[in-house]
Structure 1
C-alpha cells in the first residue's frame, strides 16, 4: 500500500486546513501555561513574623523588641517563626525594665508563633499561604520537609483549598477565617481557569489524525477527514483516495492491536523509551525548577517573572529554526548544554553582581525552554505511527513527574542558595550527552511500524527475520537507515 504522504500529497503541505488545525491545537495549549506557572503567585510566601496580640499588655518598647532579629542578605530582619516568650517579657514590661538596657535580649527564652503570623503586603495582598496554609509547617523554615508527611496532610490541604475557593457555599463560619470571600488570589485563579474551560469546545472542531485512523484500520473515517481537508483547502479530491485492492489486501490481514507494553517489546524501542523518559524528566526538572525559583531571584518578583516568560519567545523561535535546518540530536544537545553550563556559572558570580546572576539564569531558562519545545517533535518522529501516541504520552508523563520533583530542587536553596542551580545544571549537561546517542530523525520519513524505527546510535543489532526477507526481495530495509550522516 502507498504510504500516507503519497495518499495525501494532493492536499498540499500548508493549506488553510493545516493552518486551522495548527492554530486550534496551539490555542488549546495556551491555558496550560497560565495554570502551570500561576503557583508562583498563588502560593507565594510573603515576609512574615509572629503576631503579638494586644492582650499581651506590652509597652511600646517591648512590643517593638518582641521578635528576635536574624541576619538575612546582609540585613537584620524579624525572625519568621520565633518570638520571645510573652509571659516573660510581659513581666519585664510590668516592672518597667527596658529591652537591651536592663535586659539582655540574647538570654531570653523564645517560643513559637502561638498566635499566628503577620504577613507583609509589600509584594502580595493575599495568597493561599496567608489565608489557607497559614500554619507553622507551611510558613516556617522547616515547612518544606514537613510537606513530605502522610497523604492525610495533602488531603487536608486540598480540602482547605476547596473550602477557600468556594467559601460562599459554606456559610458564615468560613468568614471568620480571615475574610476570605472574596480574595485577590481567587480572582486570579478564576481568570486563569476560565480560558481552559472554554477550550473544551475545541473537541468539536479538531478532528482525529487520519494517519492514526489508517493505522487502526478505520479507513472510512480517515477518508471523510481527508475529503473535508481537501474542501477547506479548495482542492478537488480524487474520486478514489484509497485503492480498493489495497484496502482488500489490508482487510485480509489481521489488524494488530498495540498496548503500552509494546514500547518495551524489542530492544531498540525499549532503549528509545527509557532514554526518552530520562530526557523528558530531566528537561522538566530544569524548566519548572527555574520557573518556580524565579521569586527567589534578587529584585522585583513581578519583573523577574516577566523576564522569565519573555525569554521563552526567542527560545521558541530558535527551536523552530533549528527544527527546520539542523539535525535533531545536535539541536537538542546544544540547547541543553547551553542551559546547563550557564547554571553552573551562577555560583561564581559575586554577590554584588546579582544582575549578572539573573542574566545567567535567564540564559539557562532560554536553553532548556528551546530543548523542551523541540523534544515534542523529536519524540514524535522517533516512534512509529502504531504507538506514537503512547510513546509521546509515556514521555510526557515522565515530564509531569519531573514537574512534581522540581519544587524540591527549589527547596534545596534553603540550605545552599546555589545548590538548585548546581544540580539542575549538572543533570541538564548529562542529558545533553545522552541526547547524542539518540537516533537521528532529521530528513527521514516517519516510521509506521516498530520494525521501521531508526536504530539507537552506537548500539549493534542483529537483523530480524522480517528484515532479512525484505533484503532478499531486493528492498531497502527501513530499519537500517543510517543516523550517522549528521
Structure 2
C-alpha cells in the first residue's frame, strides 16, 4: 500500500488548501482557551462577611459587630461569624460603648444567619456570591473545578472513540455545539448542583472539540506543516483565546454576563462546516477511498496543481479479499498488547499527566499572583506565546526526547524554587513540590521512549508495533525476540 504522504505529495505542503485547514482549525480552538479558564473568574471568592440587617445600632457597635481574626498573619473581618445581634442591639440601646464599657471577647458569637455581604470591588457577582458557597458550603467552590475536569476526563475517554467511529469532522462540530449550548445554559442554573452538572457536560465538549480538531489537522497536514500545526497552530489558538478571557472578564464583572459573552462566539463557527473537510486518512481507514480521493482532488484544485488520474488505487480492497482476511478493529487496548508499546504508552501518559497537572494547577491559581486577577490572568496567557514558539523551534531542530527532558527539568526546578519566594506571596509549598517531583520523575521515564525526530510517523497500528519492537532500547533481548515473533505473526 502506498504511503499517504507519498500519495498526496503532489499537493505540496503549504497551498491554499493547507492554509485554510491550518487557520480554520487553529481558530476553532479559541473558545477552548477562554472556556477552560473562565472558572478563574466565575468561581472566585469575593471578600465577604456576615450581613448585618438594618437595625438601630450606634456607629460604635456597627463598626465592631463583625469580629476580627488573624488569617495568614493579617487581621481581617471574620467571614463566618458575628456577635449576637440581639445582644449587641440591647447594649447599643443602653448606651454602652464597645471596648470601654464592654469587653468584646466576652460577647457570644453566632453564624451568618441573615446571609452574607459580598464585596463588589472586583466582581459584581460570581457563583460563590450567587449560591453562597462560603463557610459551611465552602467545599463546593474548589469542587466546581474538579467537576469540570471530570468532564474533561470523560471526554478524553470517549472523543477519540467517537471520532474513530463517526469521523473527525462530525465529532468536531457536534462537540463545539455541546460546549456552546451548555456554557449558555449555565447562566440559567437555579442552584450550584445544576450548574455543576451543566459544567461537567461543557467540559466534556471542550476537550472533545480540542482533540477532534487536533487529530483532524495532523491527519490532513503533512511534513513540517504538521509539526507547525500541532506545536504552534492549535496551541497559539488556545493562548489567544486565553488572552481574550481577562478582557471579557474586565468589562463584564457579572458571572452570567461573562458566560453569555463566552458562549456567543461558538455560533460564529457554524459556517466552517462547509470549509473544513473530513480527514482523507480516516476515510481511507474506513474503506471509503472514493470520498477521500474527491477531497484530495478538490484540494488540488484549490492549490492549482494537477492531480494524478488515480490517487488511492492501492487502498481499494476487493470484497473477496476482505472475506478471506477480515479487517481487524483496534481500540485503546491495542496500545497495551505488546510489552514494548505498553511501556511507551504508560510513559507518555505519565508525561502528559505531569504536564497537565502543572499547567492547570498554575493557570487556575492566577488570581493569587497579583492583586488584580485580570492582570494576572493576562500575564499567564501571554507568557504562553513565547513558550509555544520555543517548543516549535525545539521540535523543528532538536531530538524529541531531549526537548521533552529539558522542558520538564526547567518546569521541575522552577516549581522547587517557588518555596524561596517570600511567604507573603506563596505560603503553601506542597502542591508545587508535588508537581516538581512529577516533572523530575517524568524526565527519567522519557529516557525510555523511542526517538521520532527526523523519522516518518507510522501509518498503521501494525507499523507502530513493529517500530516499537525494533527501536525500543529498554527491553532485554529475550523480550525483544518474543515481541518480534508476536508482531510478525500479526503482520
**Cα distance change, pair 80–239 in 1 and its aligned pair in 2 (3 A):** same
CA distance in 2 between counterparts of 1:305 and 1:146 reads 19
Query: Which residue in the other structure is 1:315 paired with?
Result: 387
CA distance in 1 between counterparts of 2:475 and 2:289 reads 37
**Cα distance change, pair 184–146 in 1 and its aligned pair in 2 (3 A):** closer
Query: Which residue in the other structure is 2:194 paired with?
Result: 159
Quick check: 2:123–2:253 contact (8 Å CA) kept in 1?
no
Matches within 5 A, 1:253-272: 253-272=325-344
3-state DSSP of counterpart to 1:431: helix
**Cα distance change, pair 238–142 in 1 and its aligned pair in 2 (3 A):** closer
Quick check: 1:136–1:143 contact (8 Å CA) kept in 2?
no
Quick check: 1:137–1:143 contact (8 Å CA) kept in 2?
no
Q: Indicate yes or no: 2:313 matched with 1:243.
A: yes
Match of 2:484 among 447, 464, 470: 464
Kindly state the Cα deviation for residue 231 of structure 1 after the two structures are TM-superposed.
Answer: 1.0
Quick check: 1:116–1:135 contact (8 Å CA) kept in 2?
no
Query: Which residue in the other structure is 1:116 paired with?
Result: 115
CA distance in 2 between counterparts of 1:244 and 1:306 reads 51
3-state DSSP of counterpart to 2:29: helix
CA distance in 2 between counterparts of 1:228 and 1:41 reads 45
Provide, for residues 16-45 of structure 1, a one-character-per-residue CA deviation record: whole Å limited to 9, x for no partner. 111111111101111111111111111111
CA distance in 2 between counterparts of 1:184 and 1:101 reads 43
Greater shift, 92-101 or 239-248, is seen at 239-248
3-state DSSP of counterpart to 1:102: coil
CA distance in 1 between counterparts of 2:315 and 2:47 reads 73
Quick check: 1:340–1:424 contact (8 Å CA) kept in 2?
yes
Kindly state the Cα deviation for residue 66 of structure 1 after the two structures are TM-superposed.
Answer: 0.8
Quick check: 2:287–2:316 contact (8 Å CA) kept in 1?
no
TM-score (norm 2): 0.71
**Cα distance change, pair 14–245 in 1 and its aligned pair in 2 (3 A):** closer
Q: Indicate yes or no: 2:428 matched with 1:417.
A: yes
Query: Which residue in the other structure is 1:104 paired with?
Result: 103
Matches within 5 A, 1:330-479: 330-351=402-423, 354=425, 417-453=428-464, 454-455=467-468, 456-460=472-476, 461-462=480-481, 463-465=483-485
**Cα distance change, pair 16–201 in 1 and its aligned pair in 2 (3 A):** same
Which runs of 5 or more structure 1 residues have no equivalent in the other structure? Answer: 164-181, 358-415, 471-476, 478-486
3-state DSSP of counterpart to 1:256: coil
Quick check: 2:401–2:446 contact (8 Å CA) kept in 1?
yes
Kindly state the Cα deviation for residue 277 of structure 1 after the two structures are TM-superposed.
Answer: 2.6
**Cα distance change, pair 13–214 in 1 and its aligned pair in 2 (3 A):** same
Quick check: 1:58–1:93 contact (8 Å CA) kept in 2?
yes
* Consecutive aligned runs of 4 or more in structure 1 exceeding 4 Å deviation: 140-149, 160-163, 244-253, 466-470
Matches within 5 A, 1:69-218: 69-72=68-71, 74-134=73-133, 136-138=135-137, 140=138, 144=142, 156-159=191-194, 184-218=254-288
Kindly state the Cα deviation for residue 135 of structure 1 after the two structures are TM-superposed.
Answer: 5.3
CA distance in 1 between counterparts of 2:443 and 2:337 reads 26
CA distance in 2 between counterparts of 1:197 and 1:457 reads 49
Kindly state the Cα deviation for residue 50 of structure 1 after the two structures are TM-superposed.
Answer: 0.7
Greater shift, 307-316 or 333-342, is seen at 333-342
**Cα distance change, pair 145–23 in 1 and its aligned pair in 2 (3 A):** closer
**Cα distance change, pair 160–96 in 1 and its aligned pair in 2 (3 A):** farther
**Cα distance change, pair 146–444 in 1 and its aligned pair in 2 (3 A):** closer
Quick check: 1:50–1:117 contact (8 Å CA) kept in 2?
yes
Quick check: 2:419–2:429 contact (8 Å CA) kept in 1?
yes
TM-score (norm 1): 0.72
**Cα distance change, pair 146–24 in 1 and its aligned pair in 2 (3 A):** closer
Kindly state the Cα deviation for residue 222 of structure 1 after the two structures are TM-superposed.
Answer: 1.3
Matches within 5 A, 1:268-283: 268-283=340-355
CA distance in 2 between counterparts of 1:266 and 1:322 reads 30
CA distance in 2 between counterparts of 1:127 and 1:430 reads 38
Q: Indicate yes or no: 2:294 matched with 1:224.
A: yes
Query: Which residue in the other structure is 2:20 paired with?
Result: 20
Query: Which residue in the other structure is 2:246 paired with?
Result: none
3-state DSSP of counterpart to 2:41: helix
CA distance in 2 between counterparts of 1:466 and 1:128 reads 56
Quick check: 1:116–1:134 contact (8 Å CA) kept in 2?
no
Which runs of 5 or more structure 2 residues have no equivalent in the other structure? Answer: 151-188, 199-251
